[in-house]
Protein backbone atom coordinates (compact mmCIF):
# COMPACT_ATOMS: atom_id res chain seq x y z
CA UNK A 1 0.00 0.00 0.00
CA UNK A 2 1.30 3.45 -0.90
CA UNK A 3 2.14 5.27 2.36
CA UNK A 4 1.65 8.63 0.62
CA UNK A 5 -2.00 7.75 -0.07
CA UNK A 6 -2.59 7.06 3.62
CA UNK A 7 -0.84 10.26 4.74
CA UNK A 8 -2.76 12.28 2.14
CA UNK A 9 -6.05 10.92 3.51
CA UNK A 10 -5.13 12.01 7.05
CA UNK A 11 -4.62 15.58 5.84
CA UNK A 12 -7.82 15.64 3.78
CA UNK A 13 -9.88 18.71 4.89
CA UNK A 14 -13.10 16.67 5.00
CA UNK A 15 -11.56 14.18 7.45
CA UNK A 16 -10.02 16.97 9.52
CA UNK A 17 -13.45 18.57 9.89
CA UNK A 18 -14.71 15.20 11.13
CA UNK A 19 -11.97 15.22 13.78
CA UNK A 20 -12.83 18.83 14.65
CA UNK A 21 -16.37 17.73 15.52
CA UNK A 22 -15.06 15.05 17.90
CA UNK A 23 -12.63 17.52 19.50
CA UNK A 24 -15.43 20.07 19.93
CA UNK A 25 -17.45 17.57 21.97
CA UNK A 26 -14.45 16.64 24.13
CA UNK A 27 -13.85 20.34 24.83
CA UNK A 28 -17.58 20.74 25.65
CA UNK A 29 -17.90 23.40 22.99
CA UNK A 30 -21.31 24.53 21.74
CA UNK A 31 -20.14 24.00 18.14
CA UNK A 32 -22.81 22.06 16.24
CA UNK A 33 -24.79 22.05 13.01
CA UNK A 34 -28.52 22.79 13.55
CA UNK A 35 -30.71 19.71 13.10
CA UNK A 36 -32.58 21.12 10.10
CA UNK A 37 -29.31 22.10 8.41
CA UNK A 38 -27.88 18.66 9.10
CA UNK A 39 -30.81 17.02 7.34
CA UNK A 40 -30.40 19.42 4.42
CA UNK A 41 -26.71 18.51 4.10
CA UNK A 42 -27.59 14.80 4.02
CA UNK A 43 -30.20 15.32 1.33
CA UNK A 44 -27.86 17.56 -0.67
CA UNK A 45 -25.07 14.95 -0.75
CA UNK A 46 -27.49 12.21 -1.84
CA UNK A 47 -29.02 14.51 -4.45
CA UNK A 48 -25.65 15.58 -5.88
CA UNK A 49 -24.12 12.12 -6.10
CA UNK A 50 -27.36 10.66 -7.50
CA UNK A 51 -27.75 13.35 -10.17
CA UNK A 52 -24.11 13.12 -11.23
CA UNK A 53 -24.40 9.35 -11.34
CA UNK A 54 -27.48 9.61 -13.54
CA UNK A 55 -25.58 11.82 -15.96
CA UNK A 56 -22.80 9.23 -16.09
CA UNK A 57 -25.31 6.41 -16.45
CA UNK A 58 -26.79 8.09 -19.53
CA UNK A 59 -23.50 7.44 -21.33
CA UNK A 60 -22.93 3.90 -20.06
CA UNK A 61 -22.95 0.78 -22.22
CA UNK A 62 -24.22 -2.17 -20.20
CA UNK A 63 -22.45 -5.51 -20.46
CA UNK A 64 -22.26 -8.79 -18.58
CA UNK A 65 -19.36 -7.31 -16.64
CA UNK A 66 -21.54 -4.46 -15.41
CA UNK A 67 -24.32 -6.88 -14.45
CA UNK A 68 -21.76 -8.98 -12.56
CA UNK A 69 -20.49 -5.97 -10.59
CA UNK A 70 -24.03 -4.91 -9.63
CA UNK A 71 -24.86 -8.51 -8.67
CA UNK A 72 -21.75 -8.74 -6.49
CA UNK A 73 -22.72 -5.56 -4.67
CA UNK A 74 -26.23 -6.85 -3.99
CA UNK A 75 -24.87 -10.24 -2.90
CA UNK A 76 -22.65 -8.52 -0.34
CA UNK A 77 -25.71 -6.80 1.15
CA UNK A 78 -27.22 -10.24 1.81
CA UNK A 79 -24.17 -12.31 2.74
CA UNK A 80 -22.40 -9.85 5.07
CA UNK A 81 -25.35 -9.52 7.52
CA UNK A 82 -25.64 -13.33 7.67
CA UNK A 83 -22.13 -14.15 8.83
CA UNK A 84 -21.86 -10.94 10.86
CA UNK A 85 -24.96 -11.90 12.84
CA UNK A 86 -23.54 -15.24 13.95
CA UNK A 87 -20.20 -13.70 14.90
CA UNK A 88 -21.96 -10.99 16.92
CA UNK A 89 -24.26 -13.49 18.66
CA UNK A 90 -21.22 -14.83 20.54
CA UNK A 91 -21.31 -11.70 22.72
CA UNK A 92 -24.47 -9.71 21.95
CA UNK A 93 -28.18 -10.37 22.35
CA UNK A 94 -30.25 -11.19 19.28
CA UNK A 95 -31.62 -7.66 18.86
CA UNK A 96 -28.27 -5.88 19.02
CA UNK A 97 -26.63 -8.56 16.85
CA UNK A 98 -29.32 -8.15 14.17
CA UNK A 99 -29.12 -4.36 14.19
CA UNK A 100 -25.31 -4.31 13.96
CA UNK A 101 -25.34 -7.01 11.26
CA UNK A 102 -27.81 -4.97 9.20
CA UNK A 103 -25.63 -1.87 9.61
CA UNK A 104 -22.56 -3.68 8.26
CA UNK A 105 -24.47 -5.26 5.40
CA UNK A 106 -25.94 -1.91 4.37
CA UNK A 107 -23.90 1.01 3.07
CA UNK A 108 -22.72 4.46 4.08
CA UNK A 109 -23.60 7.01 1.41
CA UNK A 110 -21.08 9.48 2.88
CA UNK A 111 -18.28 6.90 2.74
CA UNK A 112 -19.26 6.30 -0.88
CA UNK A 113 -19.20 10.04 -1.60
CA UNK A 114 -15.79 10.37 0.05
CA UNK A 115 -14.59 7.44 -2.06
CA UNK A 116 -15.71 9.17 -5.27
CA UNK A 117 -13.61 12.19 -4.30
CA UNK A 118 -10.69 9.85 -3.66
CA UNK A 119 -11.19 8.44 -7.16
CA UNK A 120 -11.13 11.92 -8.64
CA UNK A 121 -7.80 12.58 -6.91
CA UNK A 122 -6.50 9.40 -8.57
CA UNK A 123 -7.75 10.62 -11.99
CA UNK A 124 -10.32 7.81 -12.10
CA UNK A 125 -13.90 8.28 -13.29
CA UNK A 126 -17.13 7.26 -11.54
CA UNK A 127 -19.51 5.04 -13.50
CA UNK A 128 -23.17 5.86 -12.97
CA UNK A 129 -24.31 2.31 -12.36
CA UNK A 130 -22.21 2.24 -9.17
CA UNK A 131 -24.49 4.94 -7.73
CA UNK A 132 -27.49 2.75 -8.54
CA UNK A 133 -25.73 -0.21 -6.91
CA UNK A 134 -25.17 1.80 -3.74
CA UNK A 135 -28.85 2.77 -3.54
CA UNK A 136 -30.03 -0.79 -4.15
CA UNK A 137 -27.83 -2.16 -1.35
CA UNK A 138 -29.65 -0.27 1.43
CA UNK A 139 -32.86 -2.29 1.70
CA UNK A 140 -31.65 -5.95 1.36
CA UNK A 141 -29.33 -5.70 4.38
CA UNK A 142 -32.09 -4.21 6.55
CA UNK A 143 -34.51 -6.94 5.51
CA UNK A 144 -31.96 -9.70 6.21
CA UNK A 145 -31.25 -8.23 9.65
CA UNK A 146 -34.95 -8.08 10.46
CA UNK A 147 -35.53 -11.64 9.26
CA UNK A 148 -32.69 -12.89 11.46
CA UNK A 149 -34.14 -11.10 14.49
CA UNK A 150 -37.58 -12.41 13.56
CA UNK A 151 -36.32 -16.00 13.35
CA UNK A 152 -34.13 -16.02 16.47
CA UNK A 153 -35.94 -13.41 18.57
CA UNK A 154 -39.35 -12.68 20.06
CA UNK A 155 -42.28 -13.66 17.83
CA UNK A 156 -44.32 -10.76 19.21
CA UNK A 157 -42.18 -8.33 17.21
CA UNK A 158 -43.31 -9.56 13.74
CA UNK A 159 -46.00 -6.98 13.02
CA UNK A 160 -43.63 -4.13 13.83
CA UNK A 161 -41.05 -5.61 11.46
CA UNK A 162 -43.47 -5.44 8.52
CA UNK A 163 -43.62 -1.69 9.06
CA UNK A 164 -39.83 -1.49 9.09
CA UNK A 165 -39.47 -3.48 5.86
CA UNK A 166 -41.79 -0.97 4.20
CA UNK A 167 -39.64 1.81 5.67
CA UNK A 168 -36.50 0.16 4.27
CA UNK A 169 -37.97 0.16 0.78
CA UNK A 170 -39.32 3.73 0.95
CA UNK A 171 -36.56 5.29 3.07
CA UNK A 172 -35.97 8.96 2.23
CA UNK A 173 -32.26 8.49 1.54
CA UNK A 174 -32.96 5.63 -0.87
CA UNK A 175 -35.69 7.59 -2.66
CA UNK A 176 -33.52 10.70 -2.91
CA UNK A 177 -30.51 8.98 -4.44
CA UNK A 178 -32.61 6.81 -6.80
CA UNK A 179 -34.87 9.73 -7.76
CA UNK A 180 -31.89 12.00 -8.41
CA UNK A 181 -30.25 9.24 -10.41
CA UNK A 182 -33.35 8.90 -12.59
CA UNK A 183 -33.65 12.67 -13.07
CA UNK A 184 -29.96 12.93 -13.95
CA UNK A 185 -30.47 10.11 -16.46
CA UNK A 186 -33.31 11.99 -18.17
CA UNK A 187 -31.70 15.45 -18.18
CA UNK A 188 -29.83 16.56 -21.29
CA UNK A 189 -26.26 17.84 -21.09
CA UNK A 190 -27.49 21.42 -21.58
CA UNK A 191 -30.11 21.08 -18.84
CA UNK A 192 -27.62 19.54 -16.41
CA UNK A 193 -25.15 22.38 -17.03
CA UNK A 194 -27.62 24.80 -15.43
CA UNK A 195 -27.28 23.20 -11.99
CA UNK A 196 -23.69 21.96 -12.30
CA UNK A 197 -22.36 24.74 -10.00
CA UNK A 198 -24.69 23.37 -7.31
CA UNK A 199 -24.01 19.67 -7.88
CA UNK A 200 -20.25 19.93 -8.50
CA UNK A 201 -18.57 23.18 -7.52
CA UNK A 202 -19.75 23.43 -3.90
CA UNK A 203 -19.86 19.69 -3.26
CA UNK A 204 -16.63 19.35 -1.26
CA UNK A 205 -17.50 22.29 0.99
CA UNK A 206 -20.87 20.79 1.91
CA UNK A 207 -19.22 17.40 2.48
CA UNK A 208 -16.79 19.01 4.95
CA UNK A 209 -19.68 20.59 6.88
CA UNK A 210 -21.57 17.30 6.94
CA UNK A 211 -18.52 15.46 8.29
CA UNK A 212 -18.16 18.13 10.97
CA UNK A 213 -21.71 17.26 12.04
CA UNK A 214 -20.86 13.54 11.93
CA UNK A 215 -17.85 14.21 14.14
CA UNK A 216 -20.05 15.92 16.73
CA UNK A 217 -22.51 13.00 16.66
CA UNK A 218 -19.64 10.52 17.04
CA UNK A 219 -18.12 12.41 19.96
CA UNK A 220 -21.42 12.35 21.83
CA UNK A 221 -21.77 8.56 21.50
CA UNK A 222 -18.21 7.37 22.08
CA UNK A 223 -18.41 7.13 25.89
CA UNK A 224 -21.48 4.89 25.79
CA UNK A 225 -19.90 2.71 23.11
CA UNK A 226 -16.75 1.95 25.12
CA UNK A 227 -18.91 0.39 27.83
CA UNK A 228 -19.35 -2.62 25.51
CA UNK A 229 -15.67 -3.54 25.78
CA UNK A 230 -13.13 -4.91 23.34
CA UNK A 231 -15.44 -7.18 21.32
CA UNK A 232 -17.50 -4.38 19.76
CA UNK A 233 -14.37 -2.29 19.18
CA UNK A 234 -12.49 -5.10 17.43
CA UNK A 235 -15.50 -5.95 15.29
CA UNK A 236 -15.91 -2.32 14.20
CA UNK A 237 -12.17 -2.06 13.45
CA UNK A 238 -11.57 -5.36 11.67
CA UNK A 239 -14.85 -6.27 9.95
CA UNK A 240 -14.82 -3.38 7.43
CA UNK A 241 -11.22 -4.09 6.46
CA UNK A 242 -11.90 -7.83 6.06
CA UNK A 243 -15.04 -7.21 4.00
CA UNK A 244 -13.29 -4.61 1.86
CA UNK A 245 -10.29 -6.84 1.13
CA UNK A 246 -12.43 -9.93 0.37
CA UNK A 247 -14.73 -8.08 -2.05
CA UNK A 248 -11.81 -6.20 -3.61
CA UNK A 249 -10.42 -9.60 -4.54
CA UNK A 250 -13.78 -11.07 -5.62
CA UNK A 251 -14.55 -8.06 -7.84
CA UNK A 252 -11.64 -9.13 -10.06
CA UNK A 253 -13.75 -12.11 -11.16
CA UNK A 254 -16.21 -9.75 -12.86
CA UNK A 255 -14.28 -6.72 -14.09
CA UNK A 256 -10.82 -5.24 -14.58
CA UNK A 257 -12.04 -1.64 -14.16
CA UNK A 258 -10.15 -0.22 -11.17
CA UNK A 259 -12.81 2.36 -10.20
CA UNK A 260 -15.62 -0.22 -10.17
CA UNK A 261 -13.60 -2.74 -8.15
CA UNK A 262 -12.61 -0.01 -5.70
CA UNK A 263 -16.19 1.15 -5.14
CA UNK A 264 -17.48 -2.41 -4.70
CA UNK A 265 -14.90 -2.94 -1.96
CA UNK A 266 -15.79 0.39 -0.32
CA UNK A 267 -19.51 -0.45 -0.35
CA UNK A 268 -18.83 -3.88 1.17
CA UNK A 269 -16.62 -2.32 3.84
CA UNK A 270 -18.92 0.54 4.82
CA UNK A 271 -21.61 0.48 7.50
CA UNK A 272 -24.89 2.39 7.55
CA UNK A 273 -25.53 5.01 10.23
CA UNK A 274 -28.55 6.69 8.62
CA UNK A 275 -30.98 4.23 7.00
CA UNK A 276 -30.42 1.28 9.35
CA UNK A 277 -30.74 3.21 12.64
CA UNK A 278 -33.94 4.80 11.32
CA UNK A 279 -35.40 1.40 10.41
CA UNK A 280 -34.27 -0.30 13.62
CA UNK A 281 -35.74 2.47 15.75
CA UNK A 282 -39.14 1.58 14.28
CA UNK A 283 -38.73 -2.18 14.07
CA UNK A 284 -36.56 -3.23 16.99
CA UNK A 285 -36.84 -0.85 19.94
CA UNK A 286 -34.94 -3.42 22.04
CA UNK A 287 -31.80 -2.85 19.93
CA UNK A 288 -29.49 -0.29 21.54
CA UNK A 289 -28.53 2.63 19.21
CA UNK A 290 -25.74 3.42 21.69
CA UNK A 291 -24.01 0.34 20.26
CA UNK A 292 -24.60 0.11 16.51
CA UNK A 293 -24.48 3.85 15.80
CA UNK A 294 -21.04 4.50 17.40
CA UNK A 295 -19.67 1.28 15.86
CA UNK A 296 -20.61 2.39 12.34
CA UNK A 297 -20.00 6.12 12.71
CA UNK A 298 -17.34 6.42 15.41
CA UNK A 299 -15.06 3.53 14.45
CA UNK A 300 -15.79 2.02 11.03
CA UNK A 301 -16.32 5.31 9.20
CA UNK A 302 -12.96 6.90 10.15
CA UNK A 303 -11.16 3.55 9.63
CA UNK A 304 -12.52 3.38 6.09
CA UNK A 305 -11.76 6.95 5.06
CA UNK A 306 -8.22 6.91 6.48
CA UNK A 307 -6.82 3.37 6.13
CA UNK A 308 -9.49 1.62 4.06
CA UNK A 309 -9.65 3.81 0.95
CA UNK A 310 -5.91 3.68 0.13
CA UNK A 311 -5.79 -0.02 1.07
CA UNK A 312 -8.67 -1.06 -1.21
CA UNK A 313 -7.34 1.12 -4.04
CA UNK A 314 -3.89 -0.43 -3.77
CA UNK A 315 -5.38 -3.93 -3.84
CA UNK A 316 -7.56 -3.40 -6.92
CA UNK A 317 -4.77 -1.58 -8.71
CA UNK A 318 -2.23 -4.34 -8.24
CA UNK A 319 -4.23 -7.59 -8.17
Q: What is the pLDDT of residue 88?
A: 95
Q: Report the greatest alpha carbon distance in the chain.
A: 56
Q: What is the pLDDT of residue 315?
A: 93
Q: Is the confidence at residue 248, as pLDDT, over 50? A: yes
CA neighbor of 280 nearest in space, from 167, 151, 153, 172? 167
Cα 319 to Cα 4, 67, 83, 262: the distances in Å are 19, 21, 26, 12
Q: By residue range, what is the domain housing residue 187?
A: 3-318
Q: Does residue 200 contact residue 5 with C-beta atoms inside 8 Å?
A: no
For the chain, what percentages of helix, strand and coil (3-state, to nearest 5) are there?
80, 0, 20
Q: Binning pLDDT at 50, 70 and 90, where does residue 211 land?
A: confident
Q: What is the pLDDT of residue 159?
A: 44
- Whole-prediction pTM: 0.76
Q: What is the pLDDT of residue 68?
A: 92
**Long-range contact pairs involving 40-43 (C-beta distance under 8 Å, separation at least 24):** 41/206, 41/209, 41/210, 41/213, 42/173, 42/210, 42/274, 43/172, 43/176
- Separation between Cα atoms, residue 105 and residue 285, nearest integer Å: 20
Count of domains for the chain: 1
Span of 64-68, 221-225, 296-300 with lowest mean pLDDT? 221-225
Identify the CATH number of the domain in which residue 267 sits: 1.20.1530.20
Most confident by average pLDDT, 7-11, 194-198, 289-293: 194-198
pLDDT mean over 8-25: 80
Better-predicted residue by pLDDT, 278 or 235: 235
CA neighbor of 69 nearest in space, from 117, 129, 4, 13? 129
Residue 270, Cβ neighbours under 10 Å: how many? 30
Q: Binning pLDDT at 50, 70 and 90, where does residue 22 land?
A: confident
42-76, pLDDT tens digit by residue?
788 778 877 877 887 777 777 888 889 989 999 99
Q: What is the pLDDT of residue 282?
A: 63
User: Quick check: helix, strand or coil at residue 239?
Assistant: helix
Amino acid sequence: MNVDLVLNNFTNPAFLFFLLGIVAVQLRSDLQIPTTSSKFLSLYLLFAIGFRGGQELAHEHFSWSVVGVIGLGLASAVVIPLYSFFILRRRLNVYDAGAVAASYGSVSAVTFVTATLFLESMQQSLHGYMVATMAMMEAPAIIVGLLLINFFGDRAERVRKRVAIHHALTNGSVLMVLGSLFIGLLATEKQAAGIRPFTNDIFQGFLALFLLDMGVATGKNLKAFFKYGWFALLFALLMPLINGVVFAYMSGWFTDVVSDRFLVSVLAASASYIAVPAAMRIAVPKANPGLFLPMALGVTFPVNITIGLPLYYALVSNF
